[in-house]
Structure 1
Amino acid sequence: MNLERKEIFVTTPGNGQLYSDAVVAGGLMYTTGQMPLDEDWNLISESFEEQASYVFAQLEKVLEAGGSGVDQIIRLTIYLADIDDTSRLAPLRRAFLGDARPASVIVQVGAFGTPGMRLEVEAIAAVK
């Protein structure tokens, strides 16, 4: 079976390099993990709240670029450097998702490739 696929590129770290920001196939969009890094791969802030807000804003840009949106997220995967940040994440996640309640998982990871990075977020979403 040959599935038609479209690669999505927006202004995020890695654009034009080894991977796309998302791939749309079979009516679904699969995003690359969104990180709190600027276009030069520098950490945008040490603050968890600022990192999370930035990552959610980047994810929204990617979703919109591929013809989807936050309300179309089916599954949200959040990787945290410290699971204790879950309580700080909750209100930011709620604000980002609004009324949407996608299937979700939060996973603590040992470390990220960039020192000080506290989270990474990826999503699977329906395309409008």
Structure 2
Amino acid sequence: MTIERANPDGLHPTPGYHHVTKVQADMLIYLAGQCPLQPSGDLAEGGLEGQTAQVIANILTALESAGASPADVVRTVIYVASPVREDLSAVWTQLNESALAPAFTSASTLLGVAQLGFPGQLVEIDVTAAL
């Protein structure tokens, strides 16, 4: 399996992700959007930071179960239920300071949205990995 990440000439500089991720793989792994739910099904406490920490833990668990690691991630879409840019930036910073950080060097999209699926949910991340 090979993963090539690039920022082509003519595109703006990025804060860590790459504009283009090319993958030649034997297997693709698609995670369901990972929510800030604890194994009990309860919403994680601690506001945006606590929920982001739970999503990170859930993604790491899901990747490991598939035999993958954060370095195998080739695409992420991050949804934050907030119109405040500082909230989006805080999530991006927390993600890039976590054990999941290598996942965000690939093609990534960060979106502020009106709402997510569970009452009180503030963050969700969609992940694709390749092996």
TM-score, normalised by the number of residues in structure 1: 0.71
In structure 1, list runs of 5 or more residues that go unmatched. 1-24
Superposed structure 1 runs of 4+ greater than 6 Å apart: none
AA aligned to 1:107 is L
Question: 5+ unaligned residues in a row in structure 2: which ranges?
Answer: 1-24
1:109–1:77 CA distance, 2 compared to 1 (3 A): same
- Quote the sequence identity (%): 29
Secondary structure at 1:32's aligned position in 2? strand
Per-residue deviation, 1:115 = 2.1
Which letter maps to 1:53? A
Match in the other structure for 1:113: 117
Deviation (angstroms), 1:46:
4.3
CA shift digits 1:79-98 (9 cap, x unpaired): 11014211211221112314
After superposition, give the CA deviation of every residue in 1:54-91 in whole Å (9 maximum; x if it has no partner).
10111011111101110111001111101421121122
CA distance in structure 1 between the aligned counterparts of 2:116 and 2:103, rounded to whole angstroms: 30
Contact 1:73 1:125 in 2 (8 A): yes
Corresponding position of 1:87: 89
* TM-score, with length taken from structure 2: 0.70
SS of match in other structure, 2:34: coil
Deviations 1:38-59 (A, max 9, x none): 2343211141111101101110
CA RMSD of aligned residues (A): 2.0
Q: Which amino acid aligns with 2:118?
A: T
Moved more, 45-54 or 94-103: 94-103
Which SS does the other structure have where 1:37 is aligned?
Answer: coil
CA contact (8 A) 2:76 2:104 kept: no
CA contact (8 A) 2:75 2:127 kept: yes
Contact 2:33–2:126 (CA<8 Å) still a contact in 1?
yes
Instruction: Flag the 1:69–1:83 CA change in 2: closer, same or farther, 3 A.
Output: farther
